Structure 1
Amino acid sequence: MSRPSPAGRARHRSAERASSPRRPLRSLWAWTAVVGGSVAVALVATGGTYALWNGSVAPTAVTVSSGTAGLSVGAVTALDATVLGPGGATAGTFTATNTGSVDLAMRVAAGTTTASTSSLVGELTVRLTAVAKSADCTTGVGGYSARPSAFDTGSGYFTLPAGVTVTGCVVVTLDGDAPAAVQAQTSSIGLVLTGTQVAP
Structure 2
Amino acid sequence: MTTPTVHPTLPAGKMRGGTIKRNLLSASTVIFVIVLALVGTGTTYALLNSAAAIRGSTITSGSTSVTVNGGTHSTVATDLSLLAPGESTVAPVTLANTGTTPVTVFVSSATVDSQSHGLADFLRLRFAPAEACVAGSAGASAAPLVGFTTTPLPLQTGASAAYCLEIFLAADAPASVQGGTTAFALILDAHQVPR
Asked whether the equivalents of residues 125 and 168 of structure 2 are also in contact (C-alpha less than 8 Å), the reply is yes
- Counting only pairs closer than 5 Å after superposition, residues 7-156 of structure 1 correspond to structure 2 as 24=17, 26-51=18-43, 52=45, 53=47, 54-74=49-69, 75=74, 79-80=78-79, 83-108=82-107, 109-117=109-117, 119-131=118-130, 133=131, 135=132, 138-139=135-136, 141-143=138-140, 145-153=142-150
TM-score scaled by length of structure 2: 0.72
In structure 2, runs of 5+ residues without a counterpart are: 1-7, 9-15
- Relative to structure 2, which stretch is displaced further, 53-62 or 38-47? 38-47
The alignment partner of 1:86 has SS state of coil
The residue type paired with residue 152 of structure 1 is T
The residue type paired with residue 38 of structure 1 is V
Residue of structure 1 equivalent to 2:4 = none
Larger Rg: 1
Taking the aligned partners of 1:76 and 1:166, their CA distance within structure 2 comes to 18
Matched, 1:169 2:164: yes
Aligned-residue RMSD, C-alpha: 2.9
Matched, 1:159 2:154: yes
1:94 shift after superposition: 0.4
TM-score scaled by length of structure 1: 0.71
Q: Return the structure number with greater helix share.
A: 1
1:145 shift after superposition: 4.2
1:126 shift after superposition: 0.9
| Identical amino acids, percent of aligned pairs | 27
> What is the count of residue pairs matched by the alignment?
173
Asked whether the equivalents of residues 101 and 157 of structure 2 are also in contact (C-alpha less than 8 Å), the reply is yes
